[in-house]
Each structure stands twice: as C-alpha cells, then as structure tokens.
Amino acid sequence: MNLGLFTLIAVLSNIILYHLPFFHYVTDHLKLNNPGSFATMLCVSIALFGVNAFLFYLVASISARFFKFFLIITSLGNALAFYFVQTYSVILDRSMMGNVFNTRYSEASAYFDPIIFLYIFLLGIIPAYIVYKTQLRNTPRKKLLLGGFGALIFSVFVLYLNSFTWLWLDKHAKYLGGLSMPWSYSINALRYEIKKQQKSKKQKLLPDGKFLNDTKVVVLLIIGESARADHFSLYGYNKPTNPRLSNIDIIALKPVMATTTYTTGSVASILAYDGSSSNEYEPLPNYLHRMGAYVEWRSKNWGAPNLNIDHFIEAGELKQTCQGDRCDYDEVLLTNLKQSIRKATKNKIFIVLHTAGSHGPTYYQKYPPSFEHFQPVCKTVDLKKCTQEELFNAYDNTIYYTDYFLSKAIEQLKKLNMPSLMIYISDHGESLGEYNLYLHGTPYAIAPRYQKEVPLLLWASKQFLQQRALNTLAIKKEEKYGQYNIFHTVLEALSLQSPIFNQKHNLLANQKDQHEQ
C-alpha cells in the first residue's frame, strides 16, 4: 500500500477505534438540539482529525519502518488506555500519568479485570498485527508533509470560520486533551517526567528553629487514603461507619478541602509549611529530623516525598514481625509501635503512618473479612457493574475498618502514658459513581467535591492536656481548615519555635485562646 494512503487509514482507524470516550464526552456536554451545537460537534471532529493527521503524517515522513513501529506501540498503548478510560472514566492528564508512574504493582494489579485482555487483543494486538503485515510503498517525504500540513491548515480554517465554538473548546480543552489517543498519555507522561525532574532538584532548607523545652512528646500523624468526609458518621453520615471513634473523646473538625486529587500532590501539601504541592522546600519530617527530633515513617502506601529521617519502614518489613491474621491490612503499621517510641533516645518524637485506607477499585480487599459490616458488597474492579448500594457498602466497610484502626492507634498511645497527640487526615477523597466518575485524580478545577472534601480528626492523651494545663483538647475555631494546618500544628505540639511557624495556621489553642473563645 502507498504510505500516504496507509497514513490516512491509520488516522481514521485511530479516531474510530480509540475515541469513543472522547465523543461521549462531547455529546454529554453539548445539547444537540440546535444548529450551533451540531456545528461545535463538527468543529471538534475536524480539529481531532486535523491534529491527528498532522502528527501521523509527520511521523510517517521520518520513515515507513519507524511509522509502523510507532503504530504498533501506540495500538497496544491505546488499547490499555482505552480500557482504563472506558472502565473508570479517568482523564489521562499529567497528574493521572503521575499516578500511573507512582503506583506499585500490588496496587496496579488491583485494577485489572480479565476483560482487559479482550481489549488488548481486539484493540491492540489485532491492529498491531495488521500494521506489521502490511507492505508499504514509499511516498515522497514532501507529499507526506504536504498532507499533514494541509489537514492542519484545513482544520484551522474551519475553526476560524466557526469562531463561536472557541469558548466551548477552550473550556473543555483539558478534558478533550486527556481523552485524545495516543497523545493524552504520551505527551502527559513526558510532561510529568519533566516536572518530576524539576522537583528532584535539591529542596530548599527552611529556617532553623529550636525546641523550647526537652519534655517528651509524641505526635502521631496518620495519613489516610481516598477517605471522603461525607462517609464518616462523625460528619453526619447516615450509616454507623465510626462506632468506635464516636465513643472516644475525639475532635472532628470541619471537612478539609484537599489541595489535589492525587496522592503525591496531597501528601506533599500535608507536609509543606505553606500547604503547597510543589516540594520546593524540605517537608515536615525532614525539617523535624534536622532540628533534632526522632522521626519515623511507616508506609503501606506510596507517594512519600524524598525523606531524610531516622527510619523509613515499609509494610513488608513490619509484616515479618507482625502476628495475627490482619498483617495484610493497615494494622501492620501498628506492629511494635509502642516499642519503637519507647526506644527513641530523643524526647521529641514524630511518627507518620501512611495507610492504604480506602484506595479503590478493590475496596473489598482493604479490610479483613470480619469487617464486612455493610452488605451486599461490590467485588469487581469494573465498578460500573455494581449497584450504588454495593459500591457504597464496599467503600463504607473501608471507613468502618479505618475507624477500628484509628481506635487501635489511640489505644497504643494511651498505653505509653506520655504526652501524645494523634492527627488523622486523608490525602484526597473518592468518586463513587457520582457524575459517572470513579476513583480520584480528576483535574482539580473540574473534580467534584467528593474527591476534595476529607476528614480531619484530632485526639490528645490526658498527659498532653495536663502539659498544656487543659481539661479537654482546645481547637481554634476557624471558618475553614486546610492541609496547611498540619505543619504548624505539629510544630506547636512539639514546642518547636521557628521563624517559619504561623500561629494563624496552628490548630491547638491554649488556655488564653480557649478563654477568648
């Protein structure tokens, strides 16, 4: 076949085979009941064709052999991407590609359903095989470039004549770009790597501080995963997902708006002095360690920043000494926790537990079978196949188990008989089918509140309260709270005086503050 004709067929095949979610999005956001809407639909289609034709002809002009290699690779990549977009309604923007690169195999494997192999075979292997077997006749490079630029110029001309569609295209550009194959995942993967390289530059040090006393204090920060505030009964949810915490003297602050909808960004925000996800400055654990505190990070998740602390312990390492049938769940993070705190030679102790929490889509695997309190339960990774009741029940069981996990953590702190403070906050929330969205990672500007509103809980030991001359834990009343509160609250709890400390963002009130309230 002539290379020029083959390229045109490849462009049309790419649009037909892999852009069903793209056109679903367009029709869902256009009211096709007037000529203007149909004109917009036509312009979007021509723009998609023009961009793909220009890029495909550009690649083909390099060589026929390279173009075939490009098509084989992108056929397989498109099939895999199409499965995830179609199954979970995700948008393959830069942050989502960051999730892909940072997800461990143990988490990634949870997304696979046997039907994925059908997608790969029908939409990946068969097209790749056809490309491989097709014999191509060379076409002059000038003709290929002319074809590509001609398609692009035609598209621009059509858009120019229909300038009334520009506002709609601009408004939805991020979504459309995240659904365009193969550019969504390939270009955004490159964008993510560039940003990652920029972040890997040496972090700036925060100004030095000093501890005002040498009194022993433990601060336990528990970072949840995908926990949305509106499914905690502490926040008024109509199902009893927090039976244990409801009977503990715990404070549930107003739901917090997470700064991002993905783990790495939100964890960075929780640990940053300004609540940003930029990783420009050293995070809280590194800062405390450098100032002389004992710092330990225990993880059953991923997404931690670059850490320079006393101990970083993976769940696999803890599992070696864990006993019982719950060592595959978040409880493994509590293994020998009391002993680790007691062995610390420093009096200022900061420990982070980074949990697996409510990470989907396999919610039913995030809690022990004995915690399947709400039934029936969704037990497939293809969440669209489940009823809302089944999906909510599976997710609510993860919150029910988180409730138990937090109560066990508080028990361990009580047994220490020393001043201790526990803070629990989730990295981000989760979509459970609302607006036909699942999981998290939707671009922040258009993400629903379910992916943003997270719980913020605090508990303090009686020794901690006595140290602060209080009868109950006093919290400053604010209009709203954020992930930026964590950094400054921990500094206050550990009595670290620092130029970077912002009293306004500190959650802990003293006697004077309590009296003024």
Task: Break the chain into its structural domains and give their ranges.
Answer: 3-199, 210-516
CA torsion, ordered 232, 233, 239, 243, to nearest 10 deg:
110
- For residue 502, pLDDT over 90 is answered with yes
pLDDT digits (tens, 9 = 90+) for 380-438: 888 888 999 999 999 999 999 999 999 999 999 999 999 999 999 999 999 999 988 88
Please list the residues that pair with 426 across neighbouring strands: 224
Please state the rounded mean pLDDT for residues 73-100.
83
- For residue 514, pLDDT over 60 is answered with no
Please state the rounded mean pLDDT for residues 275-284.
90
Q: How many helices (H) and strands (E) does the chain have?
A: 20, 13
Torsions phi, psi of 426, nearest 5?
A: -90, 155
pTM of the model: 0.76
What pLDDT sits at residue 137?
A: 86
| Residue type at position 278 | S
Q: Which of 120-124, 270-274, 374-378, 478-482 has the lowest mean pLDDT?
A: 478-482
What pLDDT sits at residue 464?
A: 96
Q: Contact 341/349 with Cβ under 8 angstroms?
A: yes
What pLDDT sits at residue 7?
A: 92
Listed residue (251, 258, 225) closest to 399, CA to CA: 225
Please state the rounded mean pLDDT for residues 328-357.
96
Please state the rounded mean pLDDT for residues 329-341.
96
- For residue 302, pLDDT over 70 is answered with yes
Token pair 């503990």 is found at: 248
Separation between Cα atoms, residue 340 and residue 317, nearest integer Å: 14
- For residue 487, pLDDT over 90 is answered with yes
Split at pLDDT 50, 70, 90, the class of 328 is: very high
Q: Which of 124-138, 160-174, 315-329 has the lowest mean pLDDT?
A: 160-174
Split at pLDDT 50, 70, 90, the class of 108 is: low
Neighbours of 301 (CB within 10 A): 22
Q: Which is the CATH superfamily of the domain at 210-516?
A: Alkaline Phosphatase, subunit A (3.40.720.10)
Percentage of the chain with pLDDT > 90?
Answer: 61
Length of the chain: 517
- For residue 143, pLDDT over 70 is answered with yes
Q: Give the pair of three-digit tokens for residue 364.
A: 């039913």
Please list the residues that pair with 256 across neighbouring strands: 454
Split at pLDDT 50, 70, 90, the class of 105 is: low
Alpha carbon 41 to chain centroid, angstroms: 32
Q: Contact 229/431 with Cβ under 8 angstroms?
A: no
Q: Which of 68-82, 195-209, 470-484 has the lowest mean pLDDT?
A: 195-209
Split at pLDDT 50, 70, 90, the class of 474 is: confident
Dmax of the chain from CA atoms? Answer: 85
Token pair 């047994």 is found at: 415
Please state the rounded mean pLDDT for residues 144-165.
84
- For residue 93, pLDDT over 80 is answered with no
- For residue 17, pLDDT over 90 is answered with yes
- For residue 102, pLDDT over 70 is answered with no
**What's the mean per-residue pLDDT of the chain?**
89
Which secondary-structure segment (H or E) carries 211?
A: strand 210-211
What pLDDT sits at residue 289?
A: 97
Q: Which of 173-177, 207-211, 423-427 has the lowest mean pLDDT?
A: 173-177
Degrees, nearest 5: CA angle 90-270-280 = 90
What pLDDT sits at residue 43?
A: 86
Q: Look at residue 480 and give its three-state secondary structure.
A: coil
What pLDDT sits at residue 26?
A: 86
Split at pLDDT 50, 70, 90, the class of 199 is: low
User: Which has the higher per-residue pLDDT, 189 or 512?
Assistant: 189
Please state the rounded mean pLDDT for residues 191-200.
68
What pLDDT sits at residue 86?
A: 85
What pLDDT sits at residue 512?
A: 61
Q: Contact 236/455 with Cβ under 8 angstroms?
A: no
